Amino acid sequence: MDLLLATQAVADVAAADMKIWAYVGFIGLVIVFLALDLGVFHREAHEVTMKEALGWSVVWLTCGVAFTGFVYLAYQNHWLGLGLQTPKYDGGSIVLGEVNGATAAIQYLTGYVVEKSLAMDNIFVIAMIFGFFAIPAKYQHRVLFWGIIGALIMRGGMIFLGAELIMRYTWILIVFGLFLLLTALKMAIIKSESDPRNNPLVKLAKRYFRTVDFFDGQKFFTRRTLAPTYRTDEATGLQVMEPAPAGTLSAKRAITPLFLALIMVEITDLVFAVDSIPAIFAITPDPFIVFTSNIFAILGLRALYFCLAALIAKFRFLKPALILILAFVGVKLLLLAAPPYLDNIGLVANELKGIKIDPILSLGVVVAILVSATVLSIILPAKEEKEGGQAHG
């Protein structure tokens, strides 16, 4: 018996060690994607056209959905230990056990759809930030690129911290569920304050660091003290920046509006991550599924921004849909985690098991909400938009 337990313990450790390589391989794949994006396709700053943005959106969406197939095969065949000794919900508690390919694939796809839908609200704020700092269209991709890098690091840390916490203290799931319900309520009744001028980090940067109100190309920092001038290159017809006049360069670098916008984009993602990460933990406690679905969802955020920034205001029912999704996953977490604790506080005589909503049902609810919001937005446009269209005709 002791030999059997020892053998099982060794197998569990081996599976955990192999899973590390699954994370390493995935992070390596993401680095390759980002290197190609910045180093090959966007080496020179340029305004992203709708056609280019649509193309990249299709690419990222295809990659994100296609990864479902990898998840299925990896968990079904236990590649690199995936699916073995994996955290999963069982009657309101979290246990380690085997997860098959179909279950993992549904969890990943549901998480991806939830994170993708919650990222839509992020686009509103990013558009406002770029408008406030008057970021030229050709430099917006650079800000979003480095914003995504910061988001990958922040979200990765938050996901693994959250996974560790819920494994040790299952009652945190109740906190997550209540937080999501409060967030949904706040979105429904309170108008958010997103003015960059009121952000303490922006105020701090301007107070303690030298800042300039002009752009030095796509640089985040500059030594220029005067705004650059441009000339038109006769051969290419492109605008070329003139060298700084002699004696006008400062010994110290200054922060450009591009970097201030980057600070705000990072803060925005942090705020939205606080909402979205608990939402995906309602679907699964498996950190690999949580991490990969979250990362794929935000990798396509830049292309999605360029597609929808000008159009998203027409989807008037999108925000109510996001509120419903947050409320749904909040209730799902509470049904899963709260019942076993009701006996401890004297509300029931016997211990209850958590109520687990089937992953397929969860996916269906989320997709149905998003489709309904899109269809209703098309059928019932905003009143002023409808009247404007009739007046124009």
**What digits encode the pLDDT tens for the residues 17-64?**
789 999 999 999 998 988 887 766 666 777 777 788 888 889 999 999
Alpha-carbon separation of residue 277 from 73, 144, 280 (angstroms): 25, 20, 5
Give the H/E segment covering residue 157.
helix 137-168
Measured in degrees and rounded to the nearest 5, phi and psi for residue 256 equal -90, 165
Surface-to-core class of residue 261, CB atoms within 10 Å of its CB (0-12 exposed, 13-18 middle, 19+ buried): buried
Query: Which of 156-160, 231-235, 327-331 is the most confident on average?
Result: 156-160
Average pLDDT over residues 345-366: 73
Round to whole Å and give the CA distance between 199 and 282. 31
**Measured at the alpha carbon of residue 324, what is the angle toward residues 320 and 325, in degrees to the nearest 5?**
115
How far is residue 376 CA from its own chain's centroid? Answer: 25
Q: pLDDT digits over 215-253, tens only?
A: 998 999 999 999 999 888 888 777 888 999 998 999 999
Task: Tell the burial category of 381 from Cβ atoms under 10 Å away from its Cβ (0-12, 13-18, 19+).
Answer: middle
Helix, strand, or coil here: 87?
Answer: strand
At 11 the pLDDT is 47
Stretch 294-317: mean pLDDT: 78
Segment 97-126 shows an average pLDDT of 88
249: which residues sit within 8 A by CB, 6+ positions away? 223, 224, 225
Q: Is 89 in a helix, a strand, or coil? A: strand
Quote the CA–CA distance of 33 and 28 in Å, as a whole number: 9
End-to-end Cα separation, the chain, in angstroms: 83
Q: Where are the domains of the chain?
A: 15-207+271-392
Alpha helices in 317-357 (DSSP H): 318-337, 339-342
Supply angle C-alpha 368, 333, 104, rounded to 5: 70
Question: Among candidates 142, 155, 177, which has minimal Cα distance to 271?
Answer: 155
